[in-house]
Amino acid sequence: MERKSTSGTIRNKERSKEKFMEAVGEILTKEGYLGLKVNTIAATAGVDKKMIYNYFGGTDQLIDTYVTSQDFWSNVKEDSVEINDGGREFSKKSLTAQFDYVSQNKSLQNILLWGLAEKRSSLQHIAGERERNGEQLLTQITDPYFAENATQYRAIMAILISGIYYLNLYKDGNCDTFCGIDLTKETGLDTIKKAIEKLIDLVYDDQNKKSQILKK
């Protein structure tokens, strides 16, 4: 009987934690980060606000846990990636997947806006974690392939990733189109993703040509 009671308590705790996480996401989606107040989170979750402190240590820690769970690059691990082409296909798949992920995740869009609007230690920590994961991927995958041109490739990736963020934030702002491409339609989004793949192919093809010249 005691074992069943303990198991039930654990399940209840995990379900309550899930409700709090879901509540943070719902509030971020509907109201943005300004709506993240302890009473609002508890009311949305339907769980006593005291449990936030019991389960997470406080509201900030709960929000930090949610934000980390939503960051795309913080959840990409090098040991889960199979590479045999210098990272070409990985780069294309990861950036187009990131584009879709940001496009479909309103709460993440509001987190990105939050990061631009104010300094917050948790957001700085997550940005640092994103950089550390990215550094590992770049060091292990693309740097060896691009060799002396590795920094240039990093700069190209920085432009592409920042463009992915901006275009997805832009489409919910003052205009639906960018350079005549309708970002609210699937055809427009597919056009952007194909352009990302094309740019990556061009960079890899250019590096391949340079490598062939050096071998001659």
pLDDT tens across 21-52, in order? 999 999 999 998 889 999 999 999 999 999 99
- CA dist 95 and 196 (Å) reads 8
Q: Is residue 14 part of a domain?
A: yes
For residues 148 and 173, membership in a common domain is answered with yes
CATH number at residue 30: 1.10.10.60
Q: Tell me, yes or no, whether 50 and 89 share the same domain.
A: no
Residues 98 and 140 in one domain: yes
Q: Is the pLDDT of residue 1 over 70?
A: no
| Virtual torsion, Cα 130, 207, 98, 93, nearest 10 deg | -120
Helices 186-215 and 88-104 meet at what angle, rounded to 10? 160
Residues 129 and 193 in one domain: yes
- Rg over CA atoms, the chain: 21
Span 118-170, pLDDT tens digits: 888 778 888 888 888 889 889 999 999 999 999 999 999 999 999 999 999 98
On whether residue 66 sits in a domain, the answer given is no
Residue type, 168: N
Provide the 3-class DSSP secondary structure of residue 132. helix
Enter the DSSP assignment of 58: S
Instruction: Identify whether 64 is part of a domain.
Output: no
Burial of 164 (0-12, 13-18, 19+ CB in 10 A): buried
Residues 46 and 137 in one domain: no
- Residue 182 pairs in a beta bridge with 177
Range of the domain at 142: 71-215
In a domain, 46, yes or no: yes
Lowest mean pLDDT among 17-21, 56-60, 115-119, 200-204: 115-119
Q: What is the pLDDT of residue 212?
A: 80
Nearest to 163 by CA among 140, 135, 196, 130: 196
On whether both 43 and 114 belong to a single domain, the answer is no
As for how many domains the chain has, the answer is 2
Residue 40 shares a structural domain with residue 100? no
Instruction: Give the type of residue at 153.
Output: Y
Residue count (the chain):
216
Same domain, 105 and 146: yes
Last residue of a domain, one of 34, 59, 84: 59
